[in-house]
Structures are given as structure tokens and as C-alpha cells.
Amino acid sequence: MAIPTNMRYVAVKTAGAPGVMRVAEGPTPQAGPDDVLIEVAYAGVNRPDCAQRAGTYPPPPDASPILGLEVAGRIVSLGANATGWNIGDSVCALTPGGGYAEYCTTPAAWCLPVPAGWSLEQAAGIPENYFTVWNNVFDRAKLIRGEWFLVHGGTSGIGLTAIQLAKAFGATVFTTVRNQEKAQAVRALGADHAVLYKDNDWAGEVKSLSGGRGVDVVLDMVAGDYVAKNLQLLKPDGRNVVIAVQGGAAANINVAWIMMNRITLTGSTMRPQSIASKARMARGLTEQVWPLLEAGKVSPVIHKIFAWREAAAAHAELERADHVGKVMLTLD
């Protein structure tokens, strides 16, 4: 399979606002021993991409400096030790970076098959959100059937994924959203309760809707002053998982409350985790979630797809936070 020496990619010449991105040309990457090379059809746009573009989230030293943490496309080359895949296979994959390009390398263990009957467009909305939710809600927080679950930012890609998976595994789902339009959208996808957070005592409303009992697990993308409120909402033995700090990294919490109620406060970021750790997540998704995807019980929600030359508009769309679901790029 002929692979060009050079490829197009979305370049960030200097950190800044979305307009700093341009389509450029550079060397096509080569698959390492444990990697595959993917001819990219679609790339997801995620908040870490926006942070990297702005200069606040530099890539790890061994990662591609090109933006993009998830792709869908076709395998065109295999490293000497890469197993489980063949040239020509259609996959979706988490990547260490480099997704906003015609070609991208990633560990073979981070690839997932396109669900039966799905298009590459649909599959491109899976990796980043499903890896994140699976790892944090089910591996770390150990949400189980019958528990009560709160996820903030219900209409984000993470939020919509968490709502659907939590419902599919038998939880009662609460979520916070900005307005009534978004509340309607999350209820349509399975949320039992949608609470408006803007100019509203969302914590008090969740407490009331739960009959004063609170919830078992919180997935928090806000942090800041949300953390103390989340902890107060947790039942004894509850678990709070922080995965982003959009509201600030500092939190004023009552440690005695954590002790008395045996609460777990944890968190994670996806990108620095090891190849082996993400490989375990991929196996869990294949075993537990792929049957749900193929049965149509859960599905990524695609908000809008932009051409690669419109990457600045895609980032601006995500940063406005008016979207419901995934923002993606496609090669034009």
C-alpha cells in the first residue's frame, strides 16, 4: 500500500486563539515496533486539543506535537511487533497526539474495531469519550446497577457518553446543563433528571430530587467550588471523580466530612497514562461496551463535522459550549 513521503496536517505555529491553526505539509510518520499507521478519515476535537493550541497543555515529550487524540480510519502500515490487526482494517483509536493529519501513528493496543454496521464517521466519536468514561466511572468509581450517578456538563461528548453508559448499566442518572433546550436533549438520551446550573442552586436541586439521599458517584469536569458541593451530595461510601478543572484547580473541602462518610475523592487525566493502562481500557470496552454499541443501545452524538481547513471554527464551536455532542474534523 503506497504511503506518501509527506502529508498534510493542521499546524499550530504559535500558541494562541483558534485562528493560529493552519493546514501545513510535513513528513508522514512511521509506525514504531508496537504501532500502527492509520490513514485518517475523521479526527475528534476535544478540550485538551484547545488547551494545547492555547499553550496551556503541552504534549508529552515522546508524543507528536500535532493536535488530535482520537481518529477513525484505515490501517496502512504495521510495526514489527504490532498484533491483532491487518493492513486495510478499519479502526477507531485513541492516539498520543497527531490526529489532525492525513496519517497518524498509535499503539496497536489502543485501536478498536469499527462496530458492525457503523461508518467511520460514527466510530470517530467513540475513543476519547468512551475510554475516559469507562476508566473513570466504571474502573475508578465502580458504578454499579442500582446506584445514583451525577455527571456535570451533560451535553458534552463526555456527558452524553456517561449518561448513556450509566443508564445501560442500570444506574439512575442526574446531570447538570445550561438551559432547557439542553435539558430536553439529555432526557431524550436517558437522563432521569436534568438540572440547570446557571444562576441556580443545582446542588440543592439534586439533593431535593434524590429525596435528600444524594448520589453514589459524581463525574466532575468543573472542579473549583463544585468539589465541595459534590462531596456534600455523596452518600456514605460515595465516589467523586474529577477529570477536568474548567472551574479552577483549587478547592476548599471538609476533610472531616470525607472521613466520616468514607468518601473517595479521586481523578485522572487520560493522556499521561501508560500504553498498558490504555490497552486494559480498550479490552474492557471491547468486552463490555461494544455489544451495546452494535445493538444500538448507546451511541456517540455528533454535533457538527468541520473540514480540516476549518479547524479554527471547530475549536471556536467547542469553546462556545453551545454544542450537544461531538465536534469533529474530516479531511477535505
Does the pLDDT at position 130 exceed 70? yes
Segment holding 291, helix H or strand E: helix 290-294
CB 234 within 8 A of CB 261: yes
| Residue 153 maps to a domain | yes
Domain that holds residue 103: 6-126+285-330
> Is the pLDDT at 276 greater than 80, yes or no?
yes
Whether 87 and 196 map to the same domain: the answer is no
The β-bridge partners of 196 are: 177
Residue 178 located in a structural domain: yes
Query: What DSSP designation does 210 have?
Result: T
Q: How many domains does the chain have?
A: 2
Check if the beta carbon of residue 177 is closer than 8 Å to that of residue 186.
yes
Q: Is the pLDDT of residue 1 over 70?
A: no
Q: Is residue 280 part of a domain?
A: no
Q: Is residue 1 part of a domain?
A: no
Residue 273 pLDDT greater than 90, yes or no: yes
Res. 199: pLDDT tops 90: no
CATH number, domain containing residue 260: 3.40.50.720
Task: Please report whether residue 16 resides in a domain.
Answer: yes
Neighbours of 268 (CB within 10 A): 15
At 111, list the grid cell.
Answer: 485501536
Q: 76 and 109 share a domain?
A: yes
pLDDT number for residue 321: 87
pLDDT digits (tens, 9 = 90+) for 17-30: 999 999 999 999 99
pLDDT digits 0-9 by tens, 232-252: 999 999 999 999 999 999 999
pLDDT confidence bin for 211, thresholds 50/70/90 = very high
Label residue 290 by pLDDT band (50, 70, 90): very high
Task: Clarify whether residues 250 and 173 are in a common domain.
Answer: yes
Residues 67-119: tens digit of each pLDDT: 999 999 999 999 999 999 999 999 999 999 999 999 999 999 999 999 999 99
Is residue 73 within 8 Å of residue 36, measured between CB atoms? no
Distance between CA atoms of 14 and 257, rounded to whole angstroms?
45
In a domain, 149, yes or no: yes
Q: How many residues does the chain have?
A: 332
The span from the CA of 304 to the CA of 144, in Å, is: 32
Query: Is residue 332 over pLDDT 80?
Result: no
Q: Which amino acid is at 22?
A: R
- Asked if 106 contacts 36 with a C-beta cutoff of 8 angstroms, the reply is yes
* Residue 2, pLDDT score: 87
Output the average pLDDT for the chain: 96
| Residue 228, amino acid | A
Average pLDDT over residues 261-276: 95
Is the pLDDT at 271 greater than 80? The verdict is yes
* 261 & 145 share domain: yes
Contact 105, 31 (CB under 8 A): yes
212: alpha, beta or left, given left = phi > 0 and alpha = psi -120 to 50? Answer: left
195 pLDDT higher than 90: yes
37-73 pLDDT, tens per residue? 999 999 999 999 999 999 999 998 889 999 999 999 9
Question: Quick one: 262 and 314 in the same domain?
Answer: no
pLDDT at 173 over 80: yes
